[in-house]
Structure 1
Amino acid sequence: MSAITYDIRMSGNGEAFGEEADQVVEMESLRPLPRISIHAFCESEAMQRVMERVARDRRLAKVNLRVTSGNVAAAANMFGSTPTPNLIILETDAEPKNMLSELAPLAEVCDPSTRVIVIGRYNDIALYRELIRNGISEYLVGPVPMADLLASISSIFVDPDAEPLGRSIAVIGAKGGVGSSTIAHNCAFGISTLFATETILADLDLPFGTANIDFDQDPAQGIAEAVFAPERLDEVFLDRLLTKCSQHLSLLAAPSMLDRAYDFESGAFLPIIEILQRSAPVAVLDLPHVWTEWTRSVLADVDEVVICAVPDLANLRNTKNMIDALKKLRPNDRPPHLILNQVGMPKRPEIAPSDFIEPLEIEPIAILPFDAQLFGNAANSGRMISEIDAKSAAAETFAQIAHIVTGRVALKKVKKGGLGKMLGMLGRK
């Protein structure tokens, strides 16, 4: 059986698929798969549902995945007249003593480079050893959790010795003028200073981006050169486009000019994100408030999404719509993070934070009270909040945001300071 591959992962006999939250955590460390072809043959409806979820996962964006209702014999029959893909996934209920004979016709038609994952019903170590001796890549005991299946595919096609990918965090506003750029910039600065971690801030608002102003920079080059010349894009070229803002923070600035129209195809920014992830442990993407094919692609591809909103009705509607859209774009990832900004603006009618949060069914990771003087001074001087007043409540909140979006701490509903403190302050108004 020269074509078929194997590395067993005993996933339990008869266990349910498990908690979706646990699967999300398990999948966070998985790298995107390369451009490969996969054909799955499913005997059960449960396995078909798992494959449908796998097909929608962002880590398979480059994968050509086909799912067929059928058994091993159907696979052997199909590939008798067509080339085999990079990976075949087979579900079978064959008994251990019959499994090799069932796989034999498929082995005769498999290309030598094709890998095969078998999903069986029997948790049998003798069967595992026999299969691995005969060239199977992976044997999983069904029912298989989606996270285990993705991990198995990743173990075959992703180099375990490859450099780890950096974490990508996209920040977008639910509406224009909600301060999402200010939050993105302070978040990137906080990550780079708190953890002494090399961080890249990419300003994706090419016509109106403000990152260069907020960091008091005037770079001659930036993200425009990268997106309009993708054939030149590599780590060396990116390094020439970056502007150093602090010891550990680099900026990929927007041109902030209106000398051309900035229309982009769906995947225009994805090569840039890949390079950023290979170049630094953290990349923060400042997205404009637009809903286009390219912003949808970016939001579907990144590790974390942060939505910024102010507490009014339009923001509530837009935030709800964005959360619902992201659930479809990122069905196997955690929900986006929510930050409420400019809360408690004098003389402005607004929705109470508790009422704003209720229909969204997610807890905000931070609530930033309105502070025109602090934020205005920071913006006008080209400095970050923690540089203007490191002991302010806002600086403390940005530190908390940095911890949460990088995965260094989970959100807690009750805190002595930070979010909990500010919620208490707001409640006393």
Structure 2
Amino acid sequence: MNDTTQTLNNDSSNLMLFAATSEEAGRFGEQLQRLGQDASLACAGGIAAAIAWSRNNPPPQVLLVDIDGDAMPLQSLAELGAVCDPACHIVAIGSKQDVDLYRNLLHSGVFDYLAKPVTLDLLAATLGRARAGQATSHGARSGRTIAVSGASGGCGVSTVVAGLAQILSLDRHMASAVVDFDRHNGDQSLLLGYEGDAGLAGALSSGEIDSRLLQRAMGQINERLHLLAQAPTLRPEQNFSAEHLLFLGANLCHMFNQVIWDLPAGRPHGTLDVLAHAQTRILLTDLTVQDARNLHRLLREIGDESDGQHLLVVANAARGNQAGVVERSQFEDFIERRIDLQLPHAGSALAGSLLTGSLNLNGAPALQLALQDLADLATGHTPKRTTVATSNLLSRLKRVLNRQAA
């Protein structure tokens, strides 16, 4: 027995293979059996079956998918990657022997591409490298950082973060993490229904960050959502550098698809560094003169989207219909930027849900729909409701034009 086979025998539950046809699944099953694995780990259905399976099961360490027969394999692999955390190594299998395809697959984050026929020694060597994490120069996927902050306190940042986390993990089936960086008055444990230490204090004070220890220290909210937080304290330690904080964020992005930071409006040490490096920055504001001033100053500090970082300005009526609200157009003129999304006021429905458990968005359906749109925008997708509305508008316009032409 060689070293590769010994490695593969350690944990068969961390491997799944989806072949294009039942016949090929049978052949791959025989090969897996020869490597000491269960033949039933090889299934038919190709990449479509892999996506459907991954939405309802924890991702394995190694996922092999046959892309034969798929008209848009790169798009399908991107969809598969969205429901598998970055620690899952995706290996593509196909009949094409094309250098450009191979390069595109590796650039998209696929661990490796195996051209058919896949021999037993090639399969064993690839699985061994994947288990050991020995990726090619491009074959490594990384998650994304979504930093959420407010123009001032009371803009509903923590509620929006918790709502986004629930939607991304439960509705979008994405492996997600929430970092509650409000170390004075953090609310994420309450909003997400978690009790106990969630590892943030230890991660910030530790000299080295080990991904395995970090994941064990984090609080698990559901199968696809973890929390990194600490018990609120009036005098939190500031014994960490900006580099250490960013290294923590990078480690989280190797563990989860979406890492959502709840950043206090008071801008404690490290907050601006996270905002400066996040792939998506969401800034919540109320339409008041004070928030317009604060937001204008913050936008000048963190920069625009010229470096490829997505910026979303979201108006949130967290305080209800209070006095002092200015017109949206005036607000946009002052901050020199348009508002991307407006969230409706949820009233007391959300606070009432916390008396019986975690945040329940079902009590505020209008806010829930708006947060679904925000989740799409934050992850680079077109909001489904916006698409439908645009389609309906175009359809009505076409009907009017057709009637005029008749």
Shared fold per TM-score greater than 0.5: yes
- Between 171-180 and 342-351, report the one with greater CA deviation: 342-351
On the 8 A contact 1:311/1:343 being kept in 2, the answer is: no
TM-score (norm 1): 0.55
Q: Partner of 1:333 in structure 2?
A: 308
Q: Partner of 1:50 in structure 2?
A: none
**In 2: Cα distance, 1:296 partner to 1:335 partner:** 16
On the 8 A contact 1:242/1:250 being kept in 2, the answer is: yes
More relative contact order in 1 or in 2 (CA 8 Å, sep 6+)? Answer: 1
Q: Partner of 1:279 in structure 2?
A: 255
- Between the two proteins, the alignment pairs up a number of residues equal to 259
Counterpart among 182, 185, 196 of residue 208 in structure 1: 185
On the 8 A contact 2:238/2:269 being kept in 1, the answer is: no
Shift of 1:347: 4.6
Greater share of residues in helix = 2
**In 1: Cα distance, 2:357 partner to 2:288 partner:** 29
Q: 1:411 to 1:160 in 2, by over 3 A?
A: farther
Q: Partner of 2:293 in structure 1?
A: 317
TM-score (norm 2): 0.58
Counterpart residue type for residue 263 of structure 2: L
Q: Partner of 2:343 in structure 1?
A: 368
Q: 1:380 to 1:366 in 2, by over 3 A?
A: farther
Q: 1:251 to 1:361 in 2, by over 3 A?
A: same
| Structure 2: gaps spanning 5 or more residues | 1-77, 79-134, 394-406
> Secondary structure of the residue that 1:298 maps to in structure 2?
helix
> Secondary structure of the residue that 2:270 maps to in structure 1?
helix
Q: Partner of 1:308 in structure 2?
A: 284
Q: 1:315 to 1:246 in 2, by over 3 A?
A: same
On the 8 A contact 2:283/2:314 being kept in 1, the answer is: yes
RMSD of the alignment, in Å?
A: 2.9
Q: Does 1:182 align with 2:159?
A: yes
> Secondary structure of the residue that 2:146 maps to in structure 1?
strand
Shift of 1:261: 4.0
> Secondary structure of the residue that 1:359 maps to in structure 2?
helix
Counterpart residue type for residue 224 of structure 1: A
Q: Does 1:218 align with 2:191?
A: no
On the 8 A contact 1:212/1:218 being kept in 2, the answer is: yes
Q: Partner of 2:379 in structure 1?
A: 406
> Secondary structure of the residue that 2:184 maps to in structure 1?
coil
Q: 1:229 to 1:347 in 2, by over 3 A?
A: closer
Q: Partner of 1:77 in structure 2?
A: none
Q: Partner of 2:370 in structure 1?
A: 397
Q: 1:225 to 1:350 in 2, by over 3 A?
A: same
Q: 1:335 to 1:320 in 2, by over 3 A?
A: farther
Q: 1:334 to 1:298 in 2, by over 3 A?
A: closer
**In 2: Cα distance, 1:296 partner to 1:260 partner:** 18
Percent identity of paired positions between Structure 1 and Structure 2: 20
Shift of 1:352: 2.2
> Secondary structure of the residue that 1:230 maps to in structure 2?
coil
Q: 1:221 to 1:399 in 2, by over 3 A?
A: closer
Q: Does 1:355 align with 2:330?
A: yes
Q: Partner of 2:170 in structure 1?
A: 193
On the 8 A contact 1:385/1:395 being kept in 2, the answer is: no
> Secondary structure of the residue that 2:153 maps to in structure 1?
coil
Deviation per CA, 1:22-54: give whole Å up to 9, x if none: xxxxxxx9xxxxxxxxxxxxxxxxxxxxxxxxx
Q: Partner of 1:258 in structure 2?
A: 234
| Structure 1: gaps spanning 5 or more residues | 1-28, 30-157, 421-429
Q: 1:410 to 1:358 in 2, by over 3 A?
A: farther
Shift of 1:342: 1.3
Counterpart residue type for residue 278 of structure 2: V
**In 2: Cα distance, 1:325 partner to 1:413 partner:** 31
Deviation per CA, 1:112-166: give whole Å up to 9, x if none: xxxxxxxxxxxxxxxxxxxxxxxxxxxxxxxxxxxxxxxxxxxxxx954432110
**In 2: Cα distance, 1:367 partner to 1:415 partner:** 18
Q: Partner of 2:210 in structure 1?
A: 234
> Secondary structure of the residue that 2:374 maps to in structure 1?
helix
On the 8 A contact 2:183/2:232 being kept in 1, the answer is: yes
Q: 1:348 to 1:189 in 2, by over 3 A?
A: same
**In 2: Cα distance, 1:235 partner to 1:375 partner:** 34
**In 1: Cα distance, 2:248 partner to 2:169 partner:** 20
On the 8 A contact 1:365/1:401 being kept in 2, the answer is: no
Shift of 1:235: 1.3
> Secondary structure of the residue that 2:291 maps to in structure 1?
helix
Shift of 1:204: 1.0
